[in-house]
Amino acid sequence: MGVDIVLRSEMPKAIAGIEQAIKSRMDEASLLVENETKLTLSRPGKGRIYENYIYEDASGNMVFGRTRNVPHRASAPGDPPAVDTGRLRQSIRREVSGNVGLVGTDLDYGKKLQFGTRKVAARPWLDVAFREAADRVIEIFRRPWL
């Protein structure tokens, strides 16, 4: 019996550890952005005060509805949307698939608020929240990997 030297690569184990760390960090980062988005959508508005509910009819015209119990201060153009019912904030979801994390809403008016329409100026909210969380997201991915 001689002396044997065995060389074995631990690369598959290291890659598996890094892939798990990526998934874990993406989950942590997307949760952070989700929470920051909900905080952004919780801030009071700086725009006009409305005494009545305002709706958009099927033709795209703004229609005044019944009187509110409590007046609503809307958001100003360029500011995140002000809370009215909280429906947008409640709809915020996140999803992580591999090395991709998604945060957003499936409500159609979320997109209209984010980017605006030809009749209403944008009330950006998702990119505002991400910029607010960006440094903390970067720190999550800068931690040592193994």
Residue of 62 and 107 predicted with greater confidence: 107
The mean-pLDDT minimum among 25-34, 45-54, 95-104, 128-137 falls in 45-54
Q: Identify the CA nearest to 80 among candidates 46, 124, 27, 32.
A: 124
pLDDT, residue 146, reads 66
Sole residue written with tokens 């044997």: 4
Residues 38-60: what's their mean pLDDT?
84
Beta-carbon contacts of 84 under 8 Å, excluding residues fewer than 6 positions away, are 72
pLDDT of residue 67: 78
Q: Residue 54: is its pLDDT beyond 80?
A: no
3 state SS of 130: helix
Mean pLDDT of 25-39: 97
Q: State the pTM of this model.
A: 0.79
Cβ–Cβ under 8 Å, residues 83 and 42: yes
Q: pLDDT value at position 1?
A: 65
Mean residue pLDDT of the chain comes to: 89
What is the per-residue pLDDT across 65-123, written as a single tens digit (0 to 9) for each?
777 777 888 899 999 999 888 999 999 999 999 889 999 999 999 999 999 999 889 99
Report whether pLDDT(51) > 70.
yes
Cβ neighbours, 10 Å, residue 109: 15
